[in-house]
Structure formats: structure tokens, C-alpha cells
Amino acid sequence: MVESRAAQPEKRWNILWISAEDISPDLGCYGDAYAKSPTLDKLAADGARWTRAFSVAPVCAPSRSSIITGMYPNSIGSLHMRNKCVPPPEVKCFTEYLRAAGYWCTNNVKTDYQFDPPVTAWDESSNKAHWRSRPDPKKPFFAVFNITTTHESQIRLEDDAFAKRTEALSDAEHHDPAKAVLPKYYPDSPVIRRDWARYHDLITAMDKQVAAILAQLEADGLADSTVVFFWGDHGRGLPRSKRWPYDSGLRVPLMVRWPGVIKPGTVVEDIVTLMDLGPTVLKIAGLEPPAHMQAQAFLGEKGLDTPGLKKREYAFAHRDRMDETYDMIRSARDGQFRYVRNFQHKKPYAQYIDYMEQMPTMREWRSLNKEGKLSGPAAIFFQPEKPKDELYDILADPDEVNNLADDPQYKDLVKRMRKAVKGWMDEIGDLGFLPEPSLNERFRPGGVQPTTNQVTASKVVSKGWNLLVLSCPTPGASIAWRYADDPKNRWRLYSGPFEPKAGKAIEAKACRIGYRDSEVTSVGN
């Protein structure tokens, strides 16, 4: 049912993830003087901070799909924003391997995986899910808290609603729009400055929520036995950041506090992706990541010094359909340069996306363009076509506004990175060229969602144990079971034959990502 376990570490660490929506490394610990993020600055100071961490997609659902599966979205079919994929049978939520190894796994609360999470993924997934819910306080946990405060929708709240959202901030903690330092690709206007300041206000509010979670960990006496991760799911939720495969849409904050293992104040410049989080957690828990995963661990049982950790040469990324608007872009980032390949270069950057157009910055930017008031980098976004190739020197041009792709000096570099992108696409079997209706037909022939076969049960006697054996013929299926009279209706992950409690009836069902769950099988005892 699951990959075999590696040798268990002497100490089984608890693992805590705290994630934030739509946030670039716009924090004090990353050198942003405008930011007010004392909790996260201290977390970074107490552990390690990665300077080259990237999502593999610049929008939430494909990015989160990669995190939970350890697979590129354009490889398993979760590449378009808000599509329902059916991955290959070997693909599972990585948390199943943790549950099988004895971890209590909770998610609070966002999933957004491009598929309905199977009941085998989490012991609990709700807005009340917490490590405190585990039935045995000695059981190691993997707990996830997804903070939505910084989501792009919160920037454009009405004034009263925004004031409510940031009511925990003192006057001194609010950000002055006049002091904002805008990216070069934006025109300078009061509307855009206001959105930029609001975005930073929300980061400060989120920082306080992180502090509250860490305080609970401290109060429970668990701070010294828990590995704490903080990360953002993709770049900032503003136009030309979110949805765009540049650093502004892909580069994220990532920090890990691991008492006694990671030296405080460590700065890591290696390239990592959010997709790598899953196998990293498995390695920390003493488990070998399954061979099918395209992700790779960047930490292990000995932290950064774990033998066998691989380093990435590139961080690859994709952009495909965003809501109602189609495009196809692939990107590669090394330590200094970003290469972008626009496969639909005849389309402009500034295609209309209704959800994005609700942002005051986007409306202001579009209005200024219509009035002919844009020039320089701020006008690039409204060019009628995109170039086929883009190349940016991030060290010299962090806002990525000076395209070097046609500069003869960089001809060989463009050729090398273009080849790297093609090689990556070929290696993973990129589905971007397949029309979405054809992809959907592959997943759901005739528009019908496949259903997992029903669980069969048998009883065997082994060494005096009366064991229950559950099986399902559907390739890639996982099995969940529970006691029929469980007042919490809690589904457990089946990982092998077990002896039920005497006199207790069992219910079991099978599930596979993208499939309908099977009907429930009842087993008397």
C-alpha cells in the first residue's frame, strides 16, 4: 500500500507547516525595509532561510497540487487553474505515507489540490484541525495551518472590511503608501501605492497569526521537538506577480526552524521548489520518498547535512489556463538568470482575466494605458504580443523588465536554457500541448467520472491473530476503514492486515485521486 519505511530515526520529530497565501519574500528577514514582520524575522533568525525557493506554478491550485503529490502539475494533468485531474495510479497524497508510519496528520483547512482530497490523506482536515486533536499525545504529528489573510482578494476589500481584517494592527504597524517602493513594471499612482501598502498590512496581520500558532506550540511544551516550516504558496497576489512565471509570481519565502539540527541564522542559497516539501517531510520522518515522485528532498534526518541530498540546477515552472484565459508559458530559473518560453507569443500579456481585473491596481494600470500615459517598463505589459523568448539577469534586474534574449552576448545562454526547458518538458511528459477538452476526455471518458471498485474483505488466522485483510482491484486505490459505531466517523488508513476490536463491525471504502469513492463495504465481527 505504501513505500517501505527507511530506518527510523532515534527521535521522531513532530512537523508543523505554516503557509501563507500569495506572498513573495517581502519580509524584513529578506531585506525588505518596508516590511513589518517580527515573528517571521525571528523564525528565520532561529533557523534557516532559503533565498532561492520557488513554486512550480504562479497560482494556488496547481502549486498546491504539486506540493501534496510531489509531481509537476503539467505532468499529472493539474496544470490548468480549476480543473479536476486524474493522476496516474501511483500518485498519492504524500501524507498517506506519514499516516502509515504512525504520524497524526491534520490540515487546517485549505486543500485546493485540483482534486477532491481522499479521506486517506488526513486524519482530520477542517477549520478545527490541530495537533491537539490527536488521541495519543505521544503520537508524532504533522500539522498544517494555511493562513488566508494575505490572499489577493483581501487587498481589494471594501474599507470597512479591510479595517476589520487588519484590526490587530496598531497605527504604527500600518504601512504608509507614500513610502512604498514599487516594482519598475508598475506606473506610480496613488491607487497602486495603496494596494501595495495594503498587501504589506496583510503580511503584518498574518505575522501575528503565525505568532499565535507558535505560542500554542510553546505552551504545549512542543517547540523543542517540532520542526517548523513557513512558506508561501506562490508570489504576491498582485497583477504581473500572481499568475506570471517570473520571480514576482514564483519566488517565495521559505524558512525552517529545527532545534539542535539547523544552526540559527543559516542562509541557504540552493535552488528548491515547493514541490520538494513533501519528500523533505518524509525524509525528516525517516521515510524514503517513493520513486515515482518528481520532487526531491532538501532536508533529511540530519538536516542540511543528510547524505544523498541532491541539488537542483534549475527551478522549472509553468503557466497554462488561468480561469477563462488560455496561455502556455514555461520557465527555468538558475542561480542568476530566468528564461521564459512563450508558446502562445501572439497573445498579449494583458489578457483579460475577470478575477484579476477586480484588483484596483489592474484597473488603474489598464486605464492609464488606455489614456496613453504609460512609458518605459510600465508599458511592456500592454504590448500587443509577447516575445517568443525572454531572459532576465535577476541580480542586475530583479524586476525582470530588461529582456536580454535578443542580445548576442547571451545567445549561448538562451540556447542552453531553452534546451533545458525542452528537456524538462520531454522528461515529465508535459501535457500543455494537449487541448483541455481532450485531457478531460482522457480523465473522464464520455464525461463520466470513474469510480473506485468496492473493497473486498477476508479473514485469516496468523500466529494466533484473527486478522482482517482488505483489498481493492482498482490500480492505485487506497483503502480507508472505520468502526461502524465510531462517534467521530473517523476514517483510518488501511496499511495492512489488522485485528479489529472484538465484537466491533467494520466499514471500509476505497478511493483513488480523481475517482469517485467506492460504496462502503460492511464487515461484521
Q: Hey, which residues are catalytic here?
A: 60
Are the C-beta atoms of residues 413 and 322 closer than 8 Å to each other?
no
Q: Output phi, psi for 342, to 5 deg.
A: -95, 105
The alpha carbon torsion through 291, 292, 294, 296 (nearest 10 deg) reads -20
Nearest to 252 by CA among 17, 15, 22: 22
- Angle at alpha carbon of residue 49, lines to 44 and 53, rounded to 5°: 140
Q: Output phi, psi for 520, to 5 deg.
A: -80, 135
Nearest to 252 by CA among 281, 272, 223: 272
Q: How far is CA 186 from CA 167, 259, 366, in A?
A: 29, 41, 11
Nearest to 470 by CA among 485, 483, 454, 491: 454
Are the C-beta atoms of residues 316 and 54 closer than 8 Å to each other?
no
Are the C-beta atoms of residues 506 and 500 closer than 8 Å to each other?
yes
Q: How many CB atoms lie within 10 A of CB 148?
A: 16
Pairing type for strands 465-471 and 456-462 reads antiparallel
Measure the CA–CA gap between 108 and 127, rounded to whole angstroms. 5
Cis omega before residue 421 (within 30°)?
no
Orientation of helix 190-219 relative to helix 38-46, angle to 10°: 50
Q: Indicate the residue type of 415.
A: K
Tell how far CA 13 is from the center of its chain. Answer: 22
Query: Going edge to edge, which strands form the sheet with 521-523?
Result: 492-493, 478-483, 506-511, 521-523
Query: Going edge to edge, which strands form the sheet with 329-333?
Result: 315-319, 329-333, 337-342, 389-393
Are the C-beta atoms of residues 343 and 330 closer than 8 Å to each other?
yes
Q: Output phi, psi for 322, to 5 deg.
A: -115, 110
Q: Among all chains, which residue has been given the C-alpha cell 518605459?
A: 376
Measure the CA–CA gap between 353 and 321, rounded to whole angstroms. 10
